[in-house]
Copies of this chain bind each other. A is one copy, B any other.
């Protein structure tokens, strides 16, 4: 129970944990109302964190002991069975993600076919000439507007289904619980939305949304069916109702999504690890690998239903086609051309940075949503049929054309499949459109648009080089430049590295062009990073999500800050025994997810207890009888006052634990005692107050913590560090006033710092 609570006089108890922050308490007493309102306002904007750490309390220990007892002398133990179920469920995730991918692809093609058939119908019916062209154009326009409207409707139904979903999946894996991001409804809206936005000819891809869809499938399956309410049955056999399990499933689903989108299972594993998991887990890698493999297998089988048991066809939802120039296992570029590929990569980095910058702007500015998609259809004239062959087709085909169509007239400069002018005419508006579109409210992916615009840029460079040196033919094929350009475009936008290389490698189907791809991606990343962050990071920052990067923000090192400087001091704590009324009032007046339990004699940190645990205790009325503080009772040292709730109860409630305002307590209840000791995690992760911010950050981020207690040399609680204390803007602000006069640093002393010395009693 906090000091604050006592002052408000709502609690029935008279004892409370010693609050070591006298300054804070005084501050609170000056104007507690204002402070609380401010705090609540700031909480509302920060989404909750996920619990990636197991709570080591008596409930957990009892469950473990029971499990071990049940498992004694058995070969098929409950942990074996859980592992087995986990693998089965992973398999189901793989299969379903593949099926959803096939669904999206099939219906995208189906609606596109319907659209073009109708347009051709109009053209045939009308007399040839301007009227036909005009009518066809408006028919085309009408279909596109309708499809885009449907896509927008999906976003209206479920707003988080907008965009690619990759930033949200990244955040989820990082430990931020964005509301509704892994719900079944989000999946439905995403799948239908992306289907219609691609069919509606927006310059978007379906690859990003596929990754999100895979994650949702995985999360929904791990959660079990009751919460999704999709089926009436109580299918409890296959459920994994904890945040760490769910996170792992989401990672598997993301891997399966990449496998579906690009036919790149290994790329998917790497994507899940690079973007999400904060530590390398061989077991998780292995599971993602399996999941992606099952997806690929599903695609194999489904695509080959017609000729089932026959020869296996290509499996890819997305493919770059066969690079014939690499067929003989030899690259067709010369060694010194690799330098040109680096330059092209740098160019990709520049355009990517521009793209991200514009996107950041457009996301803020864009208002009109529909006319955007119509611009490319303004001049469908015979004069530009090359351009039309890029615009009026799906993006995958356009990419393949840029990669593989021969410049038949390279060496005599007569005929080119695509003239440079055509490519340029396509590139500039497409780039701008793609940039605008990502900001609007439809489910949309950016892989394909950036690959396509990059490919166009690369092909332009290739054409230019061939013009410069038309006779000797020293330069590689324009298709090679298009491929490298595509990699540079995507790399400059997303800044992923190894997963991206593997995805492109798997999509290309040949390793001969590995070195050019690597060089281009590296150059794109380095150049792009000079200007801004990768697009997903840009979006995460725009949404002000407390995403934790791998390394501590630079300011922490620059200020030589300690954990005490960055921690939150307004900690609300509970004593080991608290009255229901106190607990209720504290919970009702704050949104903290975790409360340290401090011993009453010296204020030392004895454990932490979660908000949802307290709510569960009150909901299930695990109360002891009211009365005087029972601290002097003899049996209290060995017996818990109140009955113990089982772990099954907690698992069944997950993740919708009761909220404090749903509880109904009588006045008599308020006087009852709550024994928090069996429910407190008695070995919470903690750091010393003199610990550096880097060390605390590393501990926090690497272990995926939700809260980190800061204690002094006698283990008395000094403060608490949560995700929002460690993200860059907060640290910048908190540390800005510390050590601000750099001149103070000028006089170094060989003496130890007083704060260090104070730790040692001499």
Contact = CB atoms under 8 A, between A and B. Distances in A.
Contact of A550 (B283, B600, B688, B751): B283
A286 interface: yes
A303 B683 CA distance: 59
A145 to B, nearest CB: 38
Contacts of A563: 683
Contact of A714 (B335, B715, B754): B715
Nearest to A696: B683
Contact of A65 (B273, B560, B636): B560
A576 B760 contact: yes
Interface string A622-656: 00000000010000111110011000000000000
A281 B601 CA distance: 43
Nearest to A694: B54
Contact of A762 (B66, B333, B577, B607): B577
Interface string A6-34: 00000000000000000000000000000
B558 A68 contact: yes
Given A312-B334, A751-B640, A56 B506 contact: no
Interface in A287-329: 289-290, 293, 296-297, 300-301, 304, 308-315, 321-322, 327-329
Copies in the complex: 2
Interface in A693-735: 695, 698-699, 702-703, 711, 713-715
Contacts of A602: 714, 761
A640 B296 CA distance: 65
A134 B315 CA distance: 56
A116 to B, nearest CB: 27
Contacts of A692: 56, 683
Contacts of A588: none
Nearest to A300: B335
A599 B759 contact: yes
Interface in A597-627: 597, 599-602, 604-607
B752 A677 contact: yes
Interface in A431-479: none
B274 A522 contact: no
Interface residues of A, number: 133
Given A58-B752, A293-B515, A602-B761, A695 B683 contact: yes
A330 interface: yes
B514 A69 contact: no
Contacts of A509: 329, 510-512
Contacts of A68: 557-560, 745
B497 A285 contact: yes
B748 A66 contact: yes
Interface in A216-268: 265-266
B643 A742 contact: no
Nearest to A315: B515
Interface in A112-146: none
B606 A760 contact: yes
B640 A752 contact: yes
Nearest to A576: B760
A312 B688 CA distance: 57
Contacts of A686: 686
A24 to B, nearest CB: 23
Interface in A325-349: 327-336, 338
A150 interface: no
Contacts of A631: 762
B637 A753 contact: no
Interface of A: 54, 56, 58, 61-62, 64-66, 68-69, 72, 79, 265-266, 269-270, 273-274, 277-283, 285-286, 289-290, 293, 296-297, 300-301, 304, 308-315, 321-322, 327-336, 338, 497-498, 501-502, 505-506, 509-512, 514-515, 518-519, 522, 550-551, 557-560, 563, 576-577, 597, 599-602, 604-607, 631, 636-640, 643-644, 677-678, 682-683, 685-688, 690-692, 695, 698-699, 702-703, 711, 713-715, 742, 745-746, 748, 750-754, 756-762
28 contacts: A58-B756, A68-B558, A69-B746, A266-B514, A274-B282, A277-B280, A281-B550, A282-B497, A283-B551, A286-B497, A289-B498, A293-B519, A309-B336, A310-B334, A311-B331, A312-B335, A505-B511, A509-B512, A599-B760, A600-B761, A606-B713, A607-B759, A631-B762, A637-B754, A637-B762, A644-B751, A699-B699, A702-B703
5 nearest CB pairs, A to B? A683-B691, A576-B760, A678-B752, A715-B715, A601-B761
